[in-house]
Amino acid sequence: MSELPAAVKAHPLINAWISLSEDGRVGVTSGKVEIGQGISLALRQIAADELGVDLSAMDIVQGDTRVCPDEGVTAGSLSVAMGGMAVRRAAAAARRHLLAHAATLLQAKADDLSVVDGTVLRAGVETDLTLWTLAREVDLAVPITLDDAPKAPGARTIAGSAASRDDLIDKLMGRVFIHDMVMEGMIHGRPIHTAALSSDGAGIDTAALAARPGVTVVEDGDFLAVLAPREEDAVAASRWAHSKLAPGEPDATPIGSPQSLTAHDGTTVVVVDTGDPFPSTGDGVESHVSRPFLAHGSIGPSCAIALWDADRLTVWTHSQSVFRLKAALAALLQHPQGAIDVIHKQGAGCYGHNGADDVAADAALMARTVPGRPVRVVWSRVDEFAAGPLGAPMATRAWAALGPDGRVEAMDVSVTSPPHSIRPGPDSPTFRAATALQHPPHLPPPQDIPAAQGGGAERNATPLYDIAHQRVRKTVVADLGVRTSALRSLGAHLNIVAIETVMDAAADAAGEDPATYRIAHLSDPRARAVIERATAAARWPQDTDEGEAWGLGFGRYKNVAGYCAIAALTPRPSSAP
C-alpha cells in the first residue's frame, strides 16, 4: 500500500485505535458501527491477527464520539475495506513498537521475535515477556507510519476464518439494543408527527393533552411532543393527539408515481456523453421502468435516549454517523459541539438513512425541557412510515440503437428522481423536526449524491457494455412534499433493471441468446467470467416449460467494485390485461 488510509491520516496515533490494559485485554476503538453486518467481530479478528492475540482477549468500542476516531458514515459496504484497514495498520504499528522494545530487553533482533497468544517468543521459544508487560513501558501515542507493515496474508490465521458470533446471545437476550436500555430516572417521550412536512398541529387541544395522566407537553413552534414517567401514558397521549389531526387531502396523482415525477420541474444534467455524434433518432429498442417510494420497514422502530446534564447533552443512538449527528445536533440546538456526546448503541439493522437521526433530535429537544432526566423516545410504526426518510421514487428509460450486425451501437439512459440523500450534517441539520421549530436552522436545498461519491439517481446508469455511443442524463426533481434519502443501492437497482431489460430486448431483436449477446459486448474479462459462471451454474439455457422463462442480470457495485450476475428461471409474465 503506497499510502496510509485516510482515517489513519486523520487520526495518526496508535492509541487512537489500539489499547492494552493491565488485565490482559486488548481494546479496539472504531468509528465504524455495528448495524447487523458483523463488523464488531471482523474488526476484532483483524486486530487479533496483527497483534498475535487470542480473539477472546479482544474488546471493541464503536461509534462513541468521546473516544473513537471519526470515520464518517458507516455506509457503502466500506466498513471492513476502509475501517478494517485502519485497524490493521494500527495493530501492526502497535506490534512493531512493542516488539522493538522487547528486542532491546532481550538483546535480540526484532526479526527473531514473534507473538503467540500475547506472549513474546524468541526463535520460537517463550520468553517471560507479554504484550501487556511491554505496554507498561511503551508509549503508543506515536504516529502510525508506512514502515508499520501488516502481516502477509499467508501469515494470518484469524482474520478471514470462521469465528463464533459471540454477540448473538446478547442480542437474543435483549442486552445490547438501545430499545432495551434502562436508566435511572428515565422518562418516556413520543413526538406528535403531522401527516405532511408542511402541516402543523392545529386542531390539537394542548391543554387537554397536558391534562392527561402523567403527561407533560413539549412545544417549540410546531414541534409537539409528550413526556410521561410511564411509557403507556406517553403512548396513549400521542395516539389521542394523532386522532385529533386533520387528515390530508388525497392527491389525484399519487406522489412518487412516474406521472408525478415528470410533472415536477427538475434540473437535468448530462452525466456521460461519449461518441460524436450521438444518434438521436432511428430504429431501436427501449425499456421504461419505475419504482415508488420505498420504506426501510426495519424489524425494530427508531429509538434514542437523550440526557441534558447542566449544559452537556449526551445522546445514545443507533445512527450510522455519530460524528455527523453530533455536528447536526449542535446546529439544530445552537449548542457547542464540544458539549455534546453521541454514543452508538445497536438497533435494528438498516442500510440507508432511516429515522435513527431524527428520533435522536426528537429526544434531545424533549430532554432539554427536563434537565437531569434521561428521555427515551421510540417512534411508532406510523412514525416510521409517515415521518421517516423514504427511498426515492424513480423513473428510468433506456434506449438502444442496433447496427446492421445486430450489436448495440448506442445507448441512451435517462433517469428522473428526487435526491437520494439528506443525511444530517454540520451545515445541514435536516431532521424531521427542524422545520417545525419556532426558530428553525438554515437548511440548504437538498442535493443528490455526486458521481465522485458513487452517485445517487445516476448510480449504475452508465452501461458497462462496450458501446461506442453512450449518453446518461439525470433529472433531479424536488418539492414532492416527502423526504427522500439513502436506501440500499440508491438508484443502482432500477438503473440496472432498465439497462438489462433493454439488452434483453436487443438480444431478442438480433435473434441471439441473451447471455452470448451480453458477453459479445464485454471486453472486461471479469465481467465476461461472472456471466459465464452464473449461466454455467444455472445450466443455461435449459429447456423451459410453458409459462416459464430464463432471466439474466449483470452489474457491478457502483460500476467500480464487485461484479455480480444472476441467472434465474422465472414464471413468464402474463400478457393478459
Tens of pLDDT, residues 477-534? 987 778 889 998 999 999 999 999 999 999 999 999 999 999 999 999 999 999 999 9
Confidence check: pLDDT of 247 > 70:
no
What pLDDT is attached to residue 576? Answer: 47
What pLDDT is attached to residue 574? Answer: 63
Evaluate whether 32 touches 343 at the Cβ level (below 8 Å).
no
What pLDDT is attached to residue 168? Answer: 87
User: How many residues in the chain?
Assistant: 577
Pairing of the two strands 303-309 and 113-116:
unpaired
Evaluate whether 388 touches 295 at the Cβ level (below 8 Å).
yes
- What is the value of pTM for the model shown? 0.91
Q: Which long-range contacts (CB under 8 A, 24 or more apart) does 105-110 make?
A: 105/129
Band the pLDDT of 267: cuts 50, 70, 90: confident
What pLDDT is attached to residue 87? Answer: 97
pLDDT winner (highest mean) among 192-201, 244-253, 323-332:
323-332
The least confident of 40-54, 280-294, 333-347 is 280-294
Average pLDDT for residues 282-310, to the nearest whole number? 91
Cα radius of gyration (the chain): 28
What pLDDT is attached to residue 253? Answer: 57
Query: What percentage of the chain carries pLDDT values higher than 70?
Result: 94
Evaluate whether 306 touches 374 at the Cβ level (below 8 Å).
yes
Alpha helical stretches, state H, 16-138: 39-51, 85-106, 131-135
The gap from C-alpha 305 to its chain's centroid, in whole angstroms, comes to 21
Using one digit for the tens of pLDDT, what is the confidence trace for 250-266? 555 566 677 777 777 78
Using one digit for the tens of pLDDT, what is the confidence trace for 88-115? 999 999 999 999 999 999 999 999 999 9
Say how far apart CA 366 and CA 306 lie, in whole Å: 8
The gap from C-alpha 445 to its chain's centroid, in whole angstroms, comes to 22
Say how far apart CA 366 and CA 362 lie, in whole Å: 6
Evaluate whether 349 touches 298 at the Cβ level (below 8 Å).
yes
What pLDDT is attached to residue 481? Answer: 79
Query: How many C-beta atoms surround the C-beta of residue 471 within 10 A?
Result: 20
The least confident of 30-44, 89-103, 388-402, 544-558 is 544-558
Say how far apart CA 110 and CA 102 lie, in whole Å: 8
The least confident of 30-44, 332-346, 477-491 is 477-491
Average pLDDT of the chain, as a whole number: 91
Q: pLDDT: is 450 or 225 the higher one?
A: 225
Alpha helical stretches, state H, 334-477: 356-367, 381-386
Element (H, E) at 258: helix 258-263
331 bridge partner residues: none
Buried b (16+ CB within 10 A) or exposed e, 350-365: bbbbbbbbbbbbbbbb
Residue 343, all three cell numbers = 454514543
SS3 60: strand
The gap from C-alpha 9 to its chain's centroid, in whole angstroms, comes to 23
Confidence check: pLDDT of 174 > 90:
no
Using one digit for the tens of pLDDT, what is the confidence trace for 397-434? 999 999 999 999 999 999 999 999 899 998 899 999 99
Evaluate whether 344 touches 62 at the Cβ level (below 8 Å).
yes
> Maximum Cα–Cα distance for the chain, whole Å?
85
- CA angle centred on 177, ends 174 and 181, rounded to 5°: 85
What pLDDT is attached to residue 512? Answer: 94
Q: Write the CB contacts of 530 (distance below 8 Å, at least 6 apart in sequence).
A: 554, 563, 564, 565
Residue with cell 430499545: 179
Evaluate whether 441 touches 429 at the Cβ level (below 8 Å).
yes
The per-residue DSSP string of 352-376 comes to B--SHHHHHHHHHHHHTTSTTS-EE
SS3 443: coil
Average pLDDT for residues 277-290, to the nearest whole number? 79
Confidence check: pLDDT of 573 > 90:
no
Average pLDDT for residues 558-569, to the nearest whole number? 92
What pLDDT is attached to residue 553? Answer: 94
Confidence check: pLDDT of 219 > 60:
yes
Nearest to 20 by CA among 173, 137, 176, 162: 137
Could you give the C-alpha distances from 234 to 72, 218, 355, 382, 450, in angstroms and in order?
34, 12, 19, 15, 42
What pLDDT is attached to residue 120? Answer: 96
Residue 12, all three cell numbers = 495518526
Peptide bond into 541 cis (omega under 30): yes
The least confident of 95-99, 201-205, 324-328, 498-502 is 201-205
Q: pLDDT: is 277 or 548 the higher one?
A: 548
Say how far apart CA 406 and CA 402 lie, in whole Å: 5
Using one digit for the tens of pLDDT, what is the confidence trace for 122-166? 999 999 999 999 999 999 999 999 999 999 999 999 998 888 888
What pLDDT is attached to residue 577? Answer: 43
Say how far apart CA 236 and CA 566 lie, in whole Å: 48
Average pLDDT for residues 368-395, to the nearest whole number? 94
